[in-house]
Structure 1
Amino acid sequence: MDLEDHLHEYLKVRRSNLLAKLDGLSEHDARRPMTPRGTNLAGIVKHVAGVEVGYFGEVFGRPFPRPLPWFDDDDAEPDADFWLPEDQTVADVVELHHAYAAHSDATIEALPLDAPGIVPWWEPERREVTLGRVLVHVLAETARHAGHADIVRELIDGAAGMGPGDVNLTRRTPQEWAAHRARIEAAARASTRGGER
């Protein structure tokens, strides 16, 4: 397996991690805002779709075959890619995820890492890129958003990691987790005794 294959495989895994955060959630829970700025799981997945469509489509002259109104319309409202209006469902976003992933994969498989591209939304001095640079950029962005999704999912229903069998998670009962959290909170409060530091 060469470097391009390794990077591509990491991207596929991060995409899968991100999409898995929607598993088992109701329509409401997948799309409800969980932060003061409205961050929600389905919106994160929708946003990453637009990221890949742009970077692996437009940048390399391989446009995605269907419009994304939240990006393509000049009058689209800001942040329209980060939430779902009433007429869009989580199933629509999951289907979009599969479609953009297939489109991106075709671009990655068709081009070498040194294939040139132009990122029109970057500053002029940075616009000329290669597939390798874009692949690393999108991999980092997808991993970043998968991390956001980890936290949002935990806020919704306590689910963490990659599921109940995730070997990277410490095994604790709900009571033990509550005690652990209380201990961390107590340490945080104790750190400010005697005035703010």
Structure 2
Amino acid sequence: MATTLDPLLNDWLLRLLAGGGSDLHLSANAPPYGRFNGSLAKMAETSLNRVQTRHLICSLLTTNQIEQLEKNLELDCAYELNGAGRFRLNVFKEKGCYAACLRALGDRIPSFEQLGLPAALQQISKRPNGLVLVTGPTGSGKSSTLAALLEYINQNQASHIITIEDPIEFVYNSAKS
């Protein structure tokens, strides 16, 4: 059972998406911040207290997810905002209070061309077996690169694709795979 998204949080997420932002940061004793072009910008002038922060975060979660958070003091999951966009949600304890970062995932799986990936990666995807490692710092495009690779295989090869991902970031529609 999901709780109802707080209208204020809904507004911040929509503003983040409309402005091309990548992350929304929620933390007690600080205003909410959005990340736009790598820089943080206040989404509101007033700081959130610990009760407000917890309420906002819990408005994104199901009852089961809230129980997991209370037990483990951290949670990683995905959240879909009424068809407007998907977010990867990381909730954690910071200075005795819950805090969260919501990373905007985009609504479409990027192509090789959009990401500027080398054609050699397409050739790697045609190999019958092997291991491909995609590494890099936060925000460097690892998830987008893997999504583009899987979508390329999905569109061009009759294969069986199994992904192990938690949380699920990109949702694929079946094509050839």
**TM-score tier after normalising by the smaller chain length:** under 0.3
TM (norm. structure 1) is 0.23
Structure 2 length as normaliser, TM-score? 0.25
- Higher strand fraction (1 or 2): 2
Q: Which one has a bigger Cα radius of gyration?
A: 1
**Which structure: greater helix fraction?**
1
Quick one: higher RCO (CA 8 Å, sep 6+), 1 or 2? 1
